[in-house]
Structure 1
Protein backbone atom coordinates (compact mmCIF):
# COMPACT_ATOMS: atom_id res chain seq x y z
CA UNK A 1 0.00 0.00 0.00
CA UNK A 2 1.35 3.42 -0.95
CA UNK A 3 1.45 5.87 1.93
CA UNK A 4 2.01 9.54 2.63
CA UNK A 5 4.87 10.88 4.72
CA UNK A 6 5.05 14.54 5.65
CA UNK A 7 7.88 16.37 7.36
CA UNK A 8 9.49 19.79 7.64
CA UNK A 9 12.03 20.39 4.90
CA UNK A 10 14.16 23.30 3.77
CA UNK A 11 12.21 25.47 1.34
CA UNK A 12 15.20 25.44 -1.04
CA UNK A 13 15.78 21.67 -1.18
CA UNK A 14 15.51 20.31 -4.74
CA UNK A 15 12.12 18.70 -4.03
CA UNK A 16 10.74 21.74 -2.22
CA UNK A 17 11.95 24.05 -4.97
CA UNK A 18 10.32 21.89 -7.68
CA UNK A 19 7.02 21.85 -5.77
CA UNK A 20 7.14 25.62 -5.18
CA UNK A 21 7.68 26.16 -8.92
CA UNK A 22 4.74 23.88 -9.77
CA UNK A 23 2.56 25.69 -7.21
CA UNK A 24 3.39 29.10 -8.67
CA UNK A 25 2.94 27.81 -12.23
CA UNK A 26 -0.54 26.50 -11.43
CA UNK A 27 -1.86 29.53 -9.56
CA UNK A 28 -0.34 32.05 -11.98
CA UNK A 29 -1.49 30.16 -15.08
CA UNK A 30 -5.02 29.91 -13.74
CA UNK A 31 -5.05 33.62 -12.90
CA UNK A 32 -3.67 34.70 -16.29
CA UNK A 33 -5.74 32.06 -18.14
CA UNK A 34 -2.62 31.00 -20.04
CA UNK A 35 0.53 29.03 -19.22
CA UNK A 36 3.08 30.90 -17.15
CA UNK A 37 6.52 31.09 -18.71
CA UNK A 38 9.63 29.86 -16.87
CA UNK A 39 10.77 33.50 -16.63
CA UNK A 40 7.46 34.55 -15.06
CA UNK A 41 7.76 31.72 -12.55
CA UNK A 42 11.32 32.82 -11.69
CA UNK A 43 10.14 36.41 -11.24
CA UNK A 44 7.17 35.35 -9.12
CA UNK A 45 9.34 33.32 -6.78
CA UNK A 46 12.09 35.94 -6.50
CA UNK A 47 11.76 37.82 -3.24
CA UNK A 48 8.54 36.04 -2.26
CA UNK A 49 9.55 35.85 1.42
CA UNK A 50 9.83 32.06 1.52
CA UNK A 51 12.96 32.37 3.68
CA UNK A 52 10.65 33.30 6.57
CA UNK A 53 9.21 29.77 6.48
CA UNK A 54 11.81 28.52 8.93
CA UNK A 55 11.59 28.44 12.75
CA UNK A 56 10.92 30.55 14.68
CA UNK A 57 9.04 32.62 12.06
CA UNK A 58 7.49 29.70 10.19
CA UNK A 59 7.93 26.25 8.72
CA UNK A 60 7.88 24.58 5.30
CA UNK A 61 6.62 21.01 4.90
CA UNK A 62 7.02 18.55 2.02
CA UNK A 63 4.74 15.58 1.58
CA UNK A 64 5.82 12.43 -0.19
CA UNK A 65 3.58 9.76 -1.67
CA UNK A 66 5.32 6.45 -2.08
CA UNK A 67 8.59 8.23 -1.35
CA UNK A 68 8.24 10.80 -4.15
CA UNK A 69 7.73 14.51 -3.50
CA UNK A 70 4.05 15.25 -4.05
CA UNK A 71 2.87 18.13 -1.84
CA UNK A 72 4.06 21.18 0.04
CA UNK A 73 2.86 23.97 2.24
CA UNK A 74 4.08 26.53 4.67
CA UNK A 75 3.13 28.46 7.75
CA UNK A 76 4.21 31.97 8.63
CA UNK A 77 3.83 33.32 12.15
CA UNK A 78 2.05 36.68 11.87
CA UNK A 79 2.24 37.34 15.60
CA UNK A 80 2.67 35.35 18.82
CA UNK A 81 -0.61 33.44 18.43
CA UNK A 82 -1.57 33.61 14.75
CA UNK A 83 -0.07 31.70 11.83
CA UNK A 84 -0.80 32.09 8.13
CA UNK A 85 -1.21 29.04 5.92
CA UNK A 86 0.59 29.57 2.61
CA UNK A 87 1.82 27.82 -0.54
CA UNK A 88 -0.42 24.78 -0.08
CA UNK A 89 0.03 22.57 -3.13
CA UNK A 90 -0.62 18.97 -4.09
CA UNK A 91 0.43 17.63 -7.48
CA UNK A 92 -2.75 17.22 -9.55
CA UNK A 93 -2.21 13.52 -10.30
CA UNK A 94 -2.22 12.78 -6.56
CA UNK A 95 -5.27 14.80 -5.55
CA UNK A 96 -8.07 12.77 -4.04
CA UNK A 97 -5.72 10.45 -2.14
CA UNK A 98 -6.10 12.10 1.30
CA UNK A 99 -2.77 13.94 1.07
CA UNK A 100 -4.25 17.42 1.29
CA UNK A 101 -5.95 16.72 4.60
CA UNK A 102 -2.77 15.19 6.00
CA UNK A 103 -0.81 18.21 4.79
CA UNK A 104 -3.22 20.61 6.53
CA UNK A 105 -3.05 18.63 9.77
CA UNK A 106 0.75 18.56 9.66
CA UNK A 107 0.93 22.30 9.01
CA UNK A 108 -1.49 22.95 11.87
CA UNK A 109 0.67 20.82 14.20
CA UNK A 110 3.77 22.76 13.12
CA UNK A 111 1.93 26.04 13.79
CA UNK A 112 0.92 24.86 17.26
CA UNK A 113 4.53 23.93 17.91
CA UNK A 114 5.51 27.52 17.16
CA UNK A 115 2.86 28.83 19.56
CA UNK A 116 -0.03 29.54 17.20
CA UNK A 117 -3.57 29.25 18.49
CA UNK A 118 -5.23 30.35 15.26
CA UNK A 119 -4.54 29.71 11.58
CA UNK A 120 -5.56 32.19 8.90
CA UNK A 121 -5.18 32.23 5.13
CA UNK A 122 -6.13 34.14 2.04
CA UNK A 123 -6.92 32.82 -1.40
CA UNK A 124 -8.67 33.65 -4.64
CA UNK A 125 -12.27 32.91 -5.53
CA UNK A 126 -11.24 30.97 -8.65
CA UNK A 127 -9.24 28.45 -6.60
CA UNK A 128 -12.38 26.46 -5.85
CA UNK A 129 -10.59 23.22 -4.95
CA UNK A 130 -8.51 25.01 -2.32
CA UNK A 131 -11.53 26.79 -0.86
CA UNK A 132 -13.45 23.50 -0.69
CA UNK A 133 -10.52 21.84 1.07
CA UNK A 134 -10.26 24.58 3.68
CA UNK A 135 -13.98 24.57 4.48
CA UNK A 136 -14.02 20.75 4.67
CA UNK A 137 -11.27 20.98 7.30
CA UNK A 138 -13.00 23.50 9.53
CA UNK A 139 -11.91 26.84 8.13
CA UNK A 140 -14.56 29.56 8.02
CA UNK A 141 -14.65 32.85 6.18
CA UNK A 142 -13.27 35.77 8.23
CA UNK A 143 -12.81 39.50 7.64
CA UNK A 144 -9.73 40.45 5.63
CA UNK A 145 -6.58 40.57 7.77
CA UNK A 146 -4.35 41.72 4.90
CA UNK A 147 -4.70 43.01 1.35
CA UNK A 148 -3.12 42.34 -1.99
CA UNK A 149 -3.89 41.91 -5.67
CA UNK A 150 -4.40 38.14 -5.49
CA UNK A 151 -6.57 37.99 -2.38
CA UNK A 152 -10.34 37.66 -2.68
CA UNK A 153 -11.39 35.73 0.41
CA UNK A 154 -9.96 35.05 3.88
CA UNK A 155 -10.41 32.05 6.17
CA UNK A 156 -9.53 31.23 9.75
CA UNK A 157 -9.62 28.38 12.22
CA UNK A 158 -8.90 28.00 15.92
CA UNK A 159 -6.16 25.48 16.56
Structure 2
Protein backbone atom coordinates (compact mmCIF):
# COMPACT_ATOMS: atom_id res chain seq x y z
CA UNK A 1 0.00 0.00 0.00
CA UNK A 2 1.36 3.43 -1.00
CA UNK A 3 1.76 5.43 2.22
CA UNK A 4 1.37 8.73 0.33
CA UNK A 5 -2.05 7.55 -0.85
CA UNK A 6 -3.02 6.59 2.69
CA UNK A 7 -1.93 10.02 3.95
CA UNK A 8 -4.01 11.75 1.27
CA UNK A 9 -7.10 9.76 2.27
CA UNK A 10 -6.60 10.81 5.89
CA UNK A 11 -6.22 14.49 4.89
CA UNK A 12 -9.36 14.23 2.78
CA UNK A 13 -11.31 12.70 5.66
CA UNK A 14 -10.24 15.48 8.03
CA UNK A 15 -11.11 18.21 5.52
CA UNK A 16 -14.55 16.75 4.77
CA UNK A 17 -15.59 16.08 8.36
CA UNK A 18 -14.63 19.62 9.38
CA UNK A 19 -16.23 21.30 6.36
CA UNK A 20 -19.59 19.53 6.64
CA UNK A 21 -19.79 20.08 10.39
CA UNK A 22 -19.88 16.59 11.87
CA UNK A 23 -17.47 17.35 14.73
CA UNK A 24 -20.16 18.62 17.10
CA UNK A 25 -23.54 17.43 18.41
CA UNK A 26 -25.57 20.18 16.74
CA UNK A 27 -25.60 19.15 13.09
CA UNK A 28 -27.65 21.55 10.93
CA UNK A 29 -28.56 23.44 14.10
CA UNK A 30 -31.04 20.79 15.24
CA UNK A 31 -29.38 19.94 18.56
CA UNK A 32 -28.54 16.39 17.52
CA UNK A 33 -25.44 14.63 16.14
CA UNK A 34 -25.26 13.63 12.49
CA UNK A 35 -25.87 9.94 13.30
CA UNK A 36 -29.37 10.64 14.64
CA UNK A 37 -30.28 12.87 11.71
CA UNK A 38 -29.00 10.34 9.20
CA UNK A 39 -31.15 7.69 10.86
CA UNK A 40 -34.23 9.90 10.47
CA UNK A 41 -33.45 10.24 6.76
CA UNK A 42 -32.91 6.49 6.33
CA UNK A 43 -36.17 5.61 8.07
CA UNK A 44 -37.87 8.03 5.69
CA UNK A 45 -41.56 8.54 5.13
CA UNK A 46 -42.31 4.85 4.59
CA UNK A 47 -40.33 3.26 7.45
CA UNK A 48 -37.56 0.64 7.33
CA UNK A 49 -36.87 -2.61 9.10
CA UNK A 50 -34.19 -2.55 11.77
CA UNK A 51 -32.23 -5.09 9.76
CA UNK A 52 -32.26 -2.84 6.68
CA UNK A 53 -31.14 0.11 8.79
CA UNK A 54 -28.39 -1.87 10.48
CA UNK A 55 -27.01 -3.31 7.24
CA UNK A 56 -27.50 -0.20 5.14
CA UNK A 57 -25.71 2.07 7.62
CA UNK A 58 -23.15 -0.51 8.78
CA UNK A 59 -24.17 -0.17 12.46
CA UNK A 60 -24.03 -2.81 15.15
CA UNK A 61 -27.28 -3.69 16.89
CA UNK A 62 -26.35 -2.02 20.17
CA UNK A 63 -25.50 1.36 18.64
CA UNK A 64 -28.60 1.31 16.42
CA UNK A 65 -30.76 0.58 19.48
CA UNK A 66 -29.25 3.54 21.35
CA UNK A 67 -29.89 5.87 18.42
CA UNK A 68 -33.48 4.67 18.12
CA UNK A 69 -34.11 5.06 21.86
CA UNK A 70 -32.88 8.66 21.72
CA UNK A 71 -35.25 9.45 18.85
CA UNK A 72 -38.13 7.57 20.50
CA UNK A 73 -37.64 9.60 23.68
CA UNK A 74 -38.23 12.76 21.64
CA UNK A 75 -41.36 11.30 20.06
CA UNK A 76 -39.82 11.26 16.59
CA UNK A 77 -39.71 7.52 15.96
CA UNK A 78 -41.68 4.44 16.97
CA UNK A 79 -40.85 0.77 16.43
CA UNK A 80 -43.24 -2.14 16.13
CA UNK A 81 -43.31 -5.71 14.88
CA UNK A 82 -44.08 -6.15 11.19
CA UNK A 83 -47.50 -7.40 10.23
CA UNK A 84 -47.31 -11.06 9.29
CA UNK A 85 -43.80 -11.62 10.66
CA UNK A 86 -43.25 -11.03 14.36
CA UNK A 87 -39.50 -11.60 13.91
CA UNK A 88 -39.13 -8.34 11.96
CA UNK A 89 -39.23 -4.97 13.68
CA UNK A 90 -40.05 -1.81 11.72
CA UNK A 91 -39.03 1.74 12.58
CA UNK A 92 -41.39 4.51 11.46
CA UNK A 93 -41.45 8.26 11.86
CA UNK A 94 -44.25 9.68 13.98
CA UNK A 95 -46.19 12.77 12.86
CA UNK A 96 -43.63 14.84 14.76
CA UNK A 97 -40.83 12.85 13.14
CA UNK A 98 -42.19 13.56 9.67
CA UNK A 99 -42.27 17.28 10.42
CA UNK A 100 -38.66 17.04 11.58
CA UNK A 101 -37.80 15.13 8.40
CA UNK A 102 -39.19 18.00 6.31
CA UNK A 103 -37.14 20.57 8.26
CA UNK A 104 -33.98 18.48 7.89
CA UNK A 105 -34.58 18.01 4.19
CA UNK A 106 -34.82 21.77 3.69
CA UNK A 107 -31.80 22.53 5.86
CA UNK A 108 -29.72 19.84 4.11
CA UNK A 109 -30.60 21.39 0.76
CA UNK A 110 -29.64 24.86 1.95
CA UNK A 111 -26.37 23.60 3.44
CA UNK A 112 -25.40 21.82 0.21
CA UNK A 113 -26.15 25.02 -1.71
CA UNK A 114 -23.96 26.99 0.73
CA UNK A 115 -20.99 24.74 -0.12
CA UNK A 116 -21.39 25.55 -3.80
CA UNK A 117 -22.27 29.24 -3.52
CA UNK A 118 -18.73 30.66 -3.01
CA UNK A 119 -17.44 28.92 -6.13
CA UNK A 120 -17.61 30.02 -9.74
CA UNK A 121 -19.79 27.97 -12.08
CA UNK A 122 -16.80 26.12 -13.51
CA UNK A 123 -15.51 25.26 -10.03
CA UNK A 124 -18.95 24.12 -8.95
CA UNK A 125 -19.01 21.74 -11.88
CA UNK A 126 -15.53 20.45 -11.02
CA UNK A 127 -16.53 19.89 -7.39
CA UNK A 128 -19.74 18.05 -8.27
CA UNK A 129 -17.95 15.87 -10.82
CA UNK A 130 -15.22 15.09 -8.28
CA UNK A 131 -17.84 14.24 -5.66
CA UNK A 132 -19.56 11.89 -8.10
CA UNK A 133 -16.27 10.14 -8.83
CA UNK A 134 -15.41 9.84 -5.13
CA UNK A 135 -18.89 8.53 -4.31
CA UNK A 136 -18.65 5.87 -7.00
CA UNK A 137 -15.19 4.76 -5.93
CA UNK A 138 -16.19 4.64 -2.26
CA UNK A 139 -19.18 2.51 -3.15
CA UNK A 140 -16.92 0.17 -5.12
CA UNK A 141 -14.54 -0.12 -2.16
CA UNK A 142 -17.46 -0.99 0.12
CA UNK A 143 -18.50 -4.02 -1.96
CA UNK A 144 -17.85 -7.33 -0.23
CA UNK A 145 -17.68 -10.62 -2.13
CA UNK A 146 -18.74 -13.67 -0.12
CA UNK A 147 -19.72 -17.27 -0.73
CA UNK A 148 -23.44 -17.89 -0.35
CA UNK A 149 -25.91 -20.74 -0.49
CA UNK A 150 -27.82 -20.62 -3.81
CA UNK A 151 -31.15 -21.12 -2.04
CA UNK A 152 -30.86 -18.19 0.36
CA UNK A 153 -33.30 -15.35 -0.49
CA UNK A 154 -30.72 -12.80 -1.66
CA UNK A 155 -29.02 -15.36 -3.87
CA UNK A 156 -32.33 -16.37 -5.46
CA UNK A 157 -33.27 -12.74 -6.01
CA UNK A 158 -29.90 -11.98 -7.58
CA UNK A 159 -30.08 -14.95 -9.94
CA UNK A 160 -33.70 -14.19 -10.87
CA UNK A 161 -32.76 -10.58 -11.69
CA UNK A 162 -29.92 -11.89 -13.86
CA UNK A 163 -32.30 -14.24 -15.70
CA UNK A 164 -34.77 -11.39 -16.23
CA UNK A 165 -32.09 -9.19 -17.79
CA UNK A 166 -31.03 -11.95 -20.18
CA UNK A 167 -34.66 -12.48 -21.15
CA UNK A 168 -34.94 -8.78 -22.05
CA UNK A 169 -31.67 -8.66 -23.98
CA UNK A 170 -31.92 -11.91 -25.97
CA UNK A 171 -34.16 -11.93 -29.03
CA UNK A 172 -35.57 -15.33 -28.06
CA UNK A 173 -35.86 -14.56 -24.34
CA UNK A 174 -34.12 -16.70 -21.76
CA UNK A 175 -35.17 -19.89 -19.99
CA UNK A 176 -32.62 -21.17 -17.41
CA UNK A 177 -34.10 -24.67 -17.63
CA UNK A 178 -32.99 -25.13 -21.25
CA UNK A 179 -29.68 -26.77 -22.13
CA UNK A 180 -27.25 -27.92 -19.44
CA UNK A 181 -29.00 -26.80 -16.26
CA UNK A 182 -26.92 -25.35 -13.42
CA UNK A 183 -28.51 -26.84 -10.30
CA UNK A 184 -28.24 -25.65 -6.71
CA UNK A 185 -25.86 -28.54 -6.03
CA UNK A 186 -23.60 -27.27 -8.84
CA UNK A 187 -23.32 -24.04 -6.84
CA UNK A 188 -22.32 -25.73 -3.59
CA UNK A 189 -19.08 -27.45 -2.55
CA UNK A 190 -17.64 -29.79 -3.58
CA UNK A 191 -19.08 -29.38 -7.09
CA UNK A 192 -18.85 -25.60 -7.18
CA UNK A 193 -19.81 -22.44 -5.36
CA UNK A 194 -21.76 -19.22 -5.68
CA UNK A 195 -20.26 -15.81 -4.93
CA UNK A 196 -22.40 -12.79 -4.08
CA UNK A 197 -21.19 -9.21 -4.25
CA UNK A 198 -22.90 -7.26 -1.47
CA UNK A 199 -23.17 -3.52 -0.95
CA UNK A 200 -24.82 -2.12 2.18
CA UNK A 201 -26.23 -5.55 2.92
CA UNK A 202 -27.80 -5.93 -0.55
CA UNK A 203 -26.74 -8.43 -3.20
CA UNK A 204 -25.60 -6.45 -6.27
CA UNK A 205 -23.77 -9.11 -8.24
CA UNK A 206 -23.11 -12.82 -8.51
CA UNK A 207 -20.96 -15.43 -10.16
CA UNK A 208 -20.73 -19.22 -10.12
CA UNK A 209 -17.80 -21.55 -10.66
CA UNK A 210 -18.44 -25.29 -11.07
CA UNK A 211 -16.32 -28.28 -11.96
CA UNK A 212 -16.76 -29.72 -15.43
CA UNK A 213 -14.19 -32.51 -15.33
CA UNK A 214 -10.81 -33.26 -13.82
CA UNK A 215 -8.78 -30.04 -13.86
CA UNK A 216 -11.45 -28.03 -15.72
CA UNK A 217 -14.00 -25.63 -14.22
CA UNK A 218 -16.62 -23.35 -15.75
CA UNK A 219 -17.86 -19.86 -14.90
CA UNK A 220 -21.63 -19.33 -14.97
CA UNK A 221 -24.21 -16.75 -13.85
CA UNK A 222 -21.84 -13.76 -13.92
CA UNK A 223 -23.85 -10.56 -13.32
CA UNK A 224 -23.59 -7.08 -11.77
CA UNK A 225 -26.47 -4.68 -11.13
CA UNK A 226 -26.66 -2.20 -14.05
CA UNK A 227 -26.47 0.88 -11.83
CA UNK A 228 -23.10 -0.29 -10.47
CA UNK A 229 -21.40 -1.29 -13.69
CA UNK A 230 -18.15 0.44 -14.49
CA UNK A 231 -16.94 0.38 -10.86
CA UNK A 232 -14.76 -2.73 -11.22
CA UNK A 233 -17.12 -5.11 -9.43
CA UNK A 234 -17.21 -7.56 -12.36
CA UNK A 235 -13.40 -7.66 -12.39
CA UNK A 236 -13.34 -8.33 -8.66
CA UNK A 237 -15.87 -11.15 -9.08
CA UNK A 238 -13.89 -12.67 -11.94
CA UNK A 239 -10.65 -12.55 -9.94
CA UNK A 240 -12.33 -14.33 -7.03
CA UNK A 241 -13.91 -16.96 -9.29
CA UNK A 242 -10.51 -17.72 -10.83
CA UNK A 243 -8.97 -18.00 -7.35
CA UNK A 244 -11.72 -20.39 -6.27
CA UNK A 245 -11.20 -22.50 -9.39
CA UNK A 246 -7.50 -22.79 -8.57
CA UNK A 247 -8.39 -23.78 -4.99
CA UNK A 248 -10.53 -26.58 -6.45
CA UNK A 249 -7.45 -27.90 -8.22
CA UNK A 250 -8.53 -26.71 -11.67
CA UNK A 251 -6.00 -25.30 -14.13
CA UNK A 252 -8.31 -24.53 -17.04
CA UNK A 253 -11.38 -22.33 -16.82
CA UNK A 254 -14.09 -22.19 -19.46
CA UNK A 255 -17.19 -20.09 -20.07
CA UNK A 256 -19.71 -19.32 -22.76
CA UNK A 257 -21.60 -16.14 -23.59
CA UNK A 258 -24.01 -14.58 -26.03
CA UNK A 259 -22.91 -12.07 -28.66
CA UNK A 260 -25.31 -9.46 -27.26
CA UNK A 261 -23.34 -9.37 -24.01
CA UNK A 262 -20.58 -7.25 -25.48
CA UNK A 263 -19.40 -5.90 -22.12
CA UNK A 264 -18.95 -9.46 -20.82
CA UNK A 265 -16.94 -10.48 -23.90
CA UNK A 266 -14.70 -7.42 -23.49
CA UNK A 267 -14.06 -8.37 -19.85
CA UNK A 268 -13.08 -11.93 -20.72
CA UNK A 269 -10.80 -10.94 -23.59
CA UNK A 270 -9.14 -8.32 -21.40
CA UNK A 271 -8.39 -11.01 -18.82
CA UNK A 272 -6.67 -13.44 -21.17
CA UNK A 273 -9.55 -15.69 -22.22
CA UNK A 274 -9.26 -16.98 -25.77
CA UNK A 275 -12.09 -18.11 -27.99
CA UNK A 276 -12.38 -21.88 -28.51
CA UNK A 277 -14.76 -24.23 -30.36
CA UNK A 278 -18.14 -25.02 -28.84
CA UNK A 279 -17.79 -27.30 -25.78
CA UNK A 280 -21.44 -27.53 -24.63
CA UNK A 281 -25.03 -27.50 -25.88
CA UNK A 282 -26.13 -24.20 -24.32
CA UNK A 283 -28.79 -22.95 -26.80
CA UNK A 284 -28.08 -19.32 -25.94
CA UNK A 285 -24.28 -19.45 -26.30
CA UNK A 286 -22.61 -18.01 -29.39
CA UNK A 287 -19.04 -17.74 -28.14
CA UNK A 288 -16.94 -20.10 -26.00
CA UNK A 289 -13.77 -19.13 -24.12
CA UNK A 290 -11.00 -20.80 -22.14
CA UNK A 291 -8.14 -19.60 -19.95
CA UNK A 292 -5.22 -21.53 -18.49
CA UNK A 293 -4.82 -20.55 -14.84
CA UNK A 294 -1.41 -19.96 -13.35
CA UNK A 295 -0.48 -21.90 -10.25
* Contact in 2 for aligned 1:5/1:67 (Cα 8 Å): no
> Counterpart in 2 of 1:58?
192
Which among 150, 165, 176 is matched to residue 44 of structure 1? 176
* Contact in 1 for aligned 2:185/2:191 (Cα 8 Å): no
In structure 1, the gaps of 5 or more residues are: none
Structure 1: which 4+ aligned runs deviate by more than 3 Å? Answer: 43-48
> Counterpart in 1 of 2:46?
none
The DSSP-based 3-state class of the residue aligned with 1:108 is helix
* Compared CA separation, residues 48 and 80, structure 1 to 2 (3 A): closer
The 1-side partners of 2:176 and 2:216 are apart by 25
Cα offset, 1:45, TM superposition: 5.7
Cα offset, 1:144, TM superposition: 1.5
Cα offset, 1:142, TM superposition: 1.2
Which among 106, 128, 131 is matched to residue 262 of structure 2? 128
The question of 1:141 aligning with 2:271 is answered no
Q: Which whole-Å deviations, capped at 9, do the CAs of 1:83-127 have from their partners, x for residues lacking one?
A: 000000000000001100000011111111111111100111111
> Counterpart in 1 of 2:154?
15
Cα offset, 1:48, TM superposition: 4.3
The question of 1:119 aligning with 2:253 is answered yes
The 2-side partners of 1:13 and 1:139 are apart by 31
Larger radius of gyration: 2
In structure 2, the gaps of 5 or more residues are: 1-137
Higher strand share: 1
Higher helix share: 2
The 1-side partners of 2:182 and 2:247 are apart by 24
TM-score normalised to structure 2 length? 0.49
The 2-side partners of 1:157 and 1:80 are apart by 15
> Counterpart in 1 of 2:285?
151
The 2-side partners of 1:4 and 1:74 are apart by 17
Higher relative contact order (CA 8 A, sep 6+): 1
> Counterpart in 1 of 2:23?
none
